[in-house]
């Protein structure tokens, strides 16, 4: 009897323990369900009504912090800039601003230079950060990327400084030469010599002003509003005629070919100026008794056929470091040589702007001591009839220093006389070199 009582008592105790454990488990489960998760902290429920909508349309990167400095809301741009990592604000100066604003409720703003995350580059990311209280518990941080604005401002300052310097040089020379003429009024030979120098400086000043006007025009105009099909052969002929005198003075042979039935879509005047600048540079930077070649071809592209126009010389070439900057305004590979040839440093910048505004691109291949090849790629005019592909690829320059159009023997079909009829086979480059 005593044994049965003991068993019953043990069973009762076990039942009571099981019930207590079950009740505790149920309470624990309810507590876990009521506890906010990490994802729930990022929901809109903790934000004042309408704030999430406003933050979603802002151009600035937005971060909302709670009392524990945990990120309640962050835009994708904030993550892209590296402001938020692991649910925390990763920029210490901004975090301190948030602490100060939470303490006194004042709005704060500061500009910072942040390291670029994962790029390995030394340049910094310039940002403007503004912190303001959002309700009684939250703090709003707005960050605007100023890197591009600062770069543009630096370009503008450099441009103004370069223009001032380039204008000052010929103007100062004219002033000095005019004084020399007055002092040498009794010496006809000196007056003639100084007057010749004044003409050179006046021409340099005129060219600089004209190229500044051309650069401003191509940056502000919309060339495709007055676009038309422009025969490539006519552009090449105009470029050759423009440089024929300089080329003959240096005994440089100018050869052209491959322009038959090719047309580009754009503004004739701007395209002629761009190609003329390339040919003029090729002549100016080539030694005497060398060749300058101009060739064109059609290449297939995903968005429609393109026309490639390549200008190749046997000049001094361009180093790898300089190739990355030759299209900058006023940048000169050899300043002394540029001034000797009357260059302003704006020609390639004009070429770049013209080609970009026409939906194309310009590339350069060069090797020091071997020459350079500048290649324009422009959309083909839609009115040109389809013709069979000649099977040539689109990689590499059309001409290299060893191509017949540039460095071939004197009995080649290319000539520095007026351009041949491009419909004849002899007007095409006979082969293609890949440096």
Average pLDDT over residues 87-104: 88
Cα 179–181–183 angle (5° rounding)? 70
Q: Supply the pLDDT for residue 401.
A: 43
Average pLDDT over residues 190-206: 87
Q: Is pLDDT at 392 greater than 80 in this prediction?
A: no
Burial of 332 (0-12, 13-18, 19+ CB in 10 A): middle
**Strand duo 84-85 + 71-74: pairing:** unpaired
Q: Is pLDDT at 245 greater than 80 in this prediction?
A: yes
DSSP conformational letter for 14:
H
Percent of residues, the chain, with pLDDT higher than 90: 15
Who contacts 431 (Cβ-Cβ below 8 Å, separation ≥6)? 403, 404
Cβ atoms of residues 416 and 253 within 8 Å: yes
pTM of the model as a whole = 0.53
* Closest residue by Cα to residue 244 from 234, 235, 233, 255: 255
Per-residue pLDDT of 348-376, as tens digits, reads: 888 888 898 888 999 999 988 889 999 99
Q: Is pLDDT at 411 greater than 60 in this prediction?
A: no
For 131, 322, 435, the CA distances from 334, given in Å and listed in that order, are 50, 10, 23
Cβ atoms of residues 309 and 271 within 8 Å: no
For 150, 239, 350, the CA distances from 279, given in Å and listed in that order, are 35, 6, 13
First and final C-alpha spacing in the chain: 109
- Determine the length of the chain: 435
DSSP letters spanning 243-273: HHHHHHHTT-EEEEE--TT-EEEE-HHHHHH
Per-residue pLDDT of 261-277, as tens digits, reads: 899 989 888 899 899 99
Q: Is pLDDT at 402 greater than 50 in this prediction?
A: no
Q: Return the number of other C-beta atoms located less than 10 Å from residue 145's C-beta.
A: 18
For 297, 305, 307, 318, the CA distances from 302, given in Å and listed in that order, are 16, 8, 13, 31
Q: Is pLDDT at 409 greater than 60 in this prediction?
A: no
What band does 26 get if pLDDT is binned at 50, 70 and 90?
low
What band does 3 get if pLDDT is binned at 50, 70 and 90?
low
Q: Supply the pLDDT for residue 118.
A: 54
Q: What angle, rounded to 10 degrees, do the helices at 188-220 and 147-183 form?
A: 160
Cα 355–360–363 angle (5° rounding)? 80
Cβ atoms of residues 304 and 380 within 8 Å: yes
Q: Supply the pLDDT for residue 368.
A: 87
Q: Is pLDDT at 153 greater than 50 in this prediction?
A: yes
Average pLDDT, the chain: 75
For 39, 42, 61, 192, 287, the CA distances from 45, given in Å and listed in that order, are 11, 8, 21, 87, 75
What band does 332 get if pLDDT is binned at 50, 70 and 90?
low
Structure tokens at 405: 């159009």
Q: Supply the pLDDT for residue 131.
A: 92
Average pLDDT over residues 223-246: 87
């Amino acid at each position: 009897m005593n044994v049965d009582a003991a068993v019953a008592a043990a069973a009762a105790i076990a039942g009571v323990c099981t019930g207590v454990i079950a009740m505790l488990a149920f309470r624990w489960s309810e507590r876990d369900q009521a506890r906010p998760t990490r994802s729930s902290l990022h929901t809109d429920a903790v934000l004042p009504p309408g704030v999430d909508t406003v933050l979603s349309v802002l151009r600035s990167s937005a971060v909302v912090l709670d009392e524990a400095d945990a990120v309640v809301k962050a835009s994708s741009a904030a993550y892209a800039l590296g402001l938020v990592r692991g649910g925390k604000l990763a920029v210490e100066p901004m975090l301190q601003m948030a602490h100060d604003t939470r303490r006194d409720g004042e709005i704060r703003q500061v500009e910072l230079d942040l390291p670029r995350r994962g790029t390995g580059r030394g340049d910094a990311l310039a940002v403007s950060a503004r912190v303001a209280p959002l309700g009684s518990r939250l703090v709003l941080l707005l960050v605007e990327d100023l890197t591009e604005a600062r770069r543009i401002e630096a370009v503008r300052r450099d441009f103004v400084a370069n223009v001032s310097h380039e204008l000052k040089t010929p103007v100062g020379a004219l002033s000095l030469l005019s004084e020399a003429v007055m002092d040498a009024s009794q010496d006809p030979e000196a007056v003639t010599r100084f007057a010749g120098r004044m003409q050179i400086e006046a021409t340099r000043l005129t060219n600089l002003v004209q190229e500044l006007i051309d650069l401003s025009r191509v940056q502000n105009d919309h060339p495709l509003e007055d676009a038309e099909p422009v025969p490539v052969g006519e552009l090449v002929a105009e470029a050759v005629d423009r440089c024929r005198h300089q080329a003959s003075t240096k005994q440089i042979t100018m050869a052209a070919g491959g322009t038959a039935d090719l047309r580009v879509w754009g503004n004739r005047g701007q395209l002629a100026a761009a190609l003329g600048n390339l040919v003029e540079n090729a002549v100016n930077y080539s030694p005497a008794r060398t060749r300058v070649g101009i060739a064109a071809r059609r290449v297939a592209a995903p968005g429609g056929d393109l026309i490639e126009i390549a200008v190749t010389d046997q000049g001094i070439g361009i180093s790898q470091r300089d190739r990355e900057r030759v299209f900058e305004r006023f940048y000169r590979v050899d300043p002394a040589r540029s001034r000797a040839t009357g260059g302003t440093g704006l020609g390639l910048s004009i070429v770049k702007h013209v080609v970009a505004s026409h939906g194309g691109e310009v590339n350069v291949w060069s090797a020091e001591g071997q020459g350079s090849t500048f290649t324009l790629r422009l959309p083909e005019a839609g009115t040109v009839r389809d013709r069979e592909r000649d099977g040539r690829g689109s990689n590499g320059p059309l001409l290299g220093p060893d191509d017949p159009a540039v460095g071939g023997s004197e009995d080649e079909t290319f000539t520095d006389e007026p351009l041949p009829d491009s419909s004849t086979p002899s007007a095409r480059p006979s082969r293609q070199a890949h440096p």
